[in-house]
């Protein structure tokens, strides 16, 4: 069932991207930010639907993940199937790494594309202030100069899934810099957050996660960008320090 939900997400993203890219090919490349914002908004619906479905997962599906965790804790899984990291059990199912964390007295089942061993090589610097965890809204700042690519969109999907359901907060799609296509969008980034919770996603050759007061600056390119996103989420959930 989880695999079907993931396929549904991918189909939604691909359809949006394909339709908008055909239009943007005849216009300025900066229109690609609209693709990402459109994808971001559409994912809200897909993710909410997907997590509600997972929360009402069939008994067999729940048992499968729970059984894998028990086998993992009993040392019965190979290292590519499961391992324990900082006291958390990680198991792989349907191409995703699953673990469980407690958030505000709730047990959250987290599926991410990369486990902690695959992201621990990326540097995390800085510190967040308590204000980052205040309020019901988090700005997700998109770079308006980034052309659509599957890794950037996958990174957004990982963020949205966890902000919406994992930490139970709303998202406002924003632009990280001024651009003509951002006329009706909030422009916010780690330099002008002014106490507002912000997650900024940028393409960079060197992957990194930088914590700056009320902002998380996530950088990388290709798969390394998605790994940086997953690392930031593990830090957010306190799986990694």
The single-letter DSSP state of residue 141 is E
- d(CA 188, CA 200) in angstroms, rounded, equals 9
The pLDDT of residue 47 is 43
The pLDDT of residue 123 is 95
The pLDDT of residue 56 is 41
The pLDDT of residue 147 is 73
Within the chain, which residues score under 50 in pLDDT?
1-3, 5-30, 43-60
The pLDDT of residue 124 is 97
Q: How many CB atoms lie within 10 A of CB 187?
A: 16
The pLDDT of residue 68 is 95
Residue spans of the domains in the chain: they are: 2-236
Terminal CA-to-CA distance of the chain, rounded, Å?
Answer: 32
- d(CA 212, CA 98) in angstroms, rounded, equals 28
- d(CA 135, CA 211) in angstroms, rounded, equals 18
The pLDDT of residue 94 is 86
pLDDT in tens, 78-114: 999 999 999 999 999 988 999 999 887 888 888 999 9
Model-level pTM? Answer: 0.79
The pLDDT of residue 167 is 72
Tell me the three state secondary structure of residue 107: strand
């Amino acid at each position: 069932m989880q695999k079907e939900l993931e396929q549904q997400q991918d189909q939604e993203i691909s359809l949006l991207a394909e339709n908008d890219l055909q239009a943007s090919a005849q216009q300025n490349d900066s229109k690609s930010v609209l693709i990402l914002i459109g994808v971001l908004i559409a994912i809200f619906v897909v993710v909410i639907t997907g997590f509600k479905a997972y929360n009402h997962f069939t008994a067999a599906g729940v048992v499968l993940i729970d059984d894998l965790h028990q086998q993992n804790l009993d040392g019965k899984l190979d290292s590519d199937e499961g391992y324990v990291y900082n006291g958390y059990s990680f198991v792989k199912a349907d191409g995703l790494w699953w673990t469980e964390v407690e958030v505000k007295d709730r047990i959250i089942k987290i599926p991410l594309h990369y486990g902690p061993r695959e992201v621990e090589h990326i540097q995390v610097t800085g510190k967040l202030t308590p204000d980052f965890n205040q309020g019901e809204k988090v700005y997700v700042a998109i770079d308006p100069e980034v052309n659509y690519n599957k890794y950037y969109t996958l990174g957004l999907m990982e963020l949205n899934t966890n902000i919406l359901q994992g930490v139970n907060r709303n998202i406002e799609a924003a632009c990280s810099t001024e651009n003509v296509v951002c006329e009706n969008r909030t422009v916010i980034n780690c330099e002008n957050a002014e106490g507002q919770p912000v997650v900024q996603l940028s393409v960079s050759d060197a992957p990194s996660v930088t914590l700056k007061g009320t902002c998380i600056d996530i950088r990388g390119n290709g798969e390394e960008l998605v790994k940086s996103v997953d690392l930031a989420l593990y830090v957010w959930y306190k799986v990694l320090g």
